[in-house]
Amino acid sequence: MNGISSQFLTALLIACPLAPDDTEITVENLNEKPYVEITLEWLRRLGIRFQQQGLDWFRISGGQHYPAFERDIPADFSSATFPLVAAAITGSEVLIRGLDFSDHQGDKAVFGFLEQMGIRLKYNTQGVTTSGGWLKGTDIDMNSTPDALPAMAVTGCFAQGTTRLLNVPQARLKECDRIAASARELRKMGARIEELEDGLVIHHSPLHGTEVHGYDDHRMVMALSVAGLAASGETTVDTAESAGVTYPTFMEDMKTLGANMSLFY
């Protein structure tokens, strides 16, 4: 199978133990590897029998079943990206609770990306506090963190110099083509941004509010909403209800942090 999106492999890894016979999977061109590691960690935890050679070959025994379990699920790093970026581009301080940095979630790397760009992080028993401020452009390999592309594109607009988001061709295969959509909508707000086959090049660009399209894509909607916080004037994002796909309380959380946001139909 082609691993252009890790979701294809994850679906098979979860389903195949329930098949009556054994399954062998050979994977080519695997992207988003941390998400596969999350899947394999859960299979091991639930006692599923399988063999592997790296992340390129798997043999899954058939005739298995999943036992019931009870476990607290750590907070979602992909969702945490948005208040994190909001703090970075507005020079604010935000405490994010409930994250488990020992988790295999790929998007925990976003904390490192933003630290590299200049934000300050402080870890304690309550969570992680992020302090925004002066940001500098950098080159980032986004292959393991495609969900963070729209938010990192917004961050690049407020970083001095040039930011390059690279090696993430699978971002074109999400709820929308997030490479093209990020470039198109941020240009409407004044961004100087160039589209690559596998990423984006973003130059420091003061943004202004305008009407932008959210593509019914939760991550595009949230990224553009965050961009509006640091843009001059008012920003309107359509299809905003799609943020509820993964972050139902996004609007309420941002308003709690002091954001002047409202949802209307």
Look up residue 5 and give its DSSP letter: S
Structure tokens at 42: 């859960």
From 72, 8, 19, select the one nearest 49 (Cα to Cα). Answer: 19
- Pick the catalytic residue: 147, 177, 216, 253? 147
User: What order do you get walking across the sheet with 139-141 strand by strand?
Assistant: 139-141, 162-166, 199-203, 192-196
Give SS3 for 1.
coil
Tokens representing residue 221 in the block:
């909607």
- Catalytic site includes residue 147: yes
H helices within the chain, ranges in order? 6-15, 33-45, 77-90, 109-117, 149-157, 178-188, 218-230, 250-256
Catalytic annotation, residues: 147
